[in-house]
Amino acid sequence: MTSLNYLLLTPGPLTTSHSVKEAMLFDSCTWDDDYNLGVVEKIRQQLTQLATASEDYTSVLLQGSGSYAVEAVLGSALGPQDKVLIVSNGAYGARMAEMANLMGIAHHVYDCGETALPDIHKIESLLDTDAAITHIAMVHSETTTGILNPIEEVGQLAKRYGRTYIVDAMSSFGGIPMDIAELNIDYLISSANKCIQGVPGFAFVIARTVKLAECAGRSRSLSLDLYAQWKCMEEHHGKWRFTSPTHTVLAFAQALKELAEEGGVAARHQRYQNNQRKLVAGMRELGFKTLLDDELHSPIITAFLAPEGPQYRFKEFYERLKQQAFVIYPGKVSQSNCFRIGNIGEVYEADITALLAAVQNAMYWNK
């Protein structure tokens, strides 16, 4: 274990502020009003307000990492007769298909490859030809590559065809402005340790209340029953069904406060975008190429192609950066050799400047 405190340039958990970590220095009682009413209920309200100006939505917090909430939504929102169209261009879309498969949920996967956007006409023709499809599920910012999917266009289709629309906005919610009512989203999923900049431990779902209210008794799992979790929180004013991640929740409340202090989602988006543009420009100057074209890109994370030549090893590059207090992320794309650099979290322009100098230092294959 090194004592060196490094900057996480990863898609979460990410580098959090000192004050977010400090908020965890308190032991809450899960029966106490200070915690349930004072913290949990407030978070639920704030999340709904962050997601939309509409009054038609509610939010549910759920123990576990982001995937738990994705699984809870698929397992609770789809009835036994329902079928979901999963639009996929990366590992997180593929994970939704894996979940549907495991839970015995009827599904069709439209996989458009890892470096392309889904074709809206293709989705439309799938909806035309397969009347059994009742739900559409898609990832917004596909963290595998950093690609940003067209949630608005797909939302318009969902509305036109009267289909329930599920969006995994894990790595974009809080970092990219959106109004989920305008986007026709019925279920939006994200987690504590991404763009809100909290610590890991729970995920959350912002759902159209009338849709969620129809989900009683549907869940394929006890712990991942989104409806039951919601009912408990509603009826007992912020009470979680099972042990809640109290320290993580306190950190999250502080993280939401800091998001507001920064100027809200628009200001955070601006910072991430500046980080990402500066990163890409600097990396290109050093000779690196991005996996994706600029117009496909989210401001969240960037996949770079591994340098050519026999000398480069990710692990060696990684270690050399870590020695300089920067932690990057391996690639996840199946077709190309990549590494990834995230720029969400407590990461500012000066950090990117310092990172670029560290990268130049670490390019051992070039020397």
Question: What residues make contact with ligand PLP under the rule CB under 6 A?
Answer: 11-12, 65-67, 92, 139, 142-143, 168, 170-171, 191
Return all residues near 95 (Cβ < 8 A) that are at least 6 apart. 67, 70
Task: Count CA atoms closer than 13 A to 235's CA, side-chain side.
Answer: 7
- Which among 117, 104, 160 has a CA at the least distance from the CA of 136? 160
Closest distance to ligand PLP from the beta carbon of 78 (Å): 18
Contacts 24+ apart (CB under 8 A), 183-188: 183/151, 183/152, 183/155, 184/155, 184/156, 184/158, 184/159, 185/151, 185/155, 186/77, 186/158, 186/211, 187/73, 187/77, 187/211, 187/212, 188/51
Helix (H) or strand (E) holding 83: strand 83-88
Name the one residue in this structure whose structure tokens are 């074709």: 119
- 165-182 burial, b if ≥16 CB within 10 A, otherwise e? bbbbbbbbbbbbebebee
Token digits of residue 259: 């998001």
Return all residues near 100 (Cβ < 8 A) that are at least 6 apart. 74, 84, 86, 106, 107
- CA distance linking residue 262 with residue 256, whole number of Å: 10
For residue 364, the 8-state DSSP code is G
Token digits of residue 169: 């906005």
Residue 189: strand, helix, or coil: strand
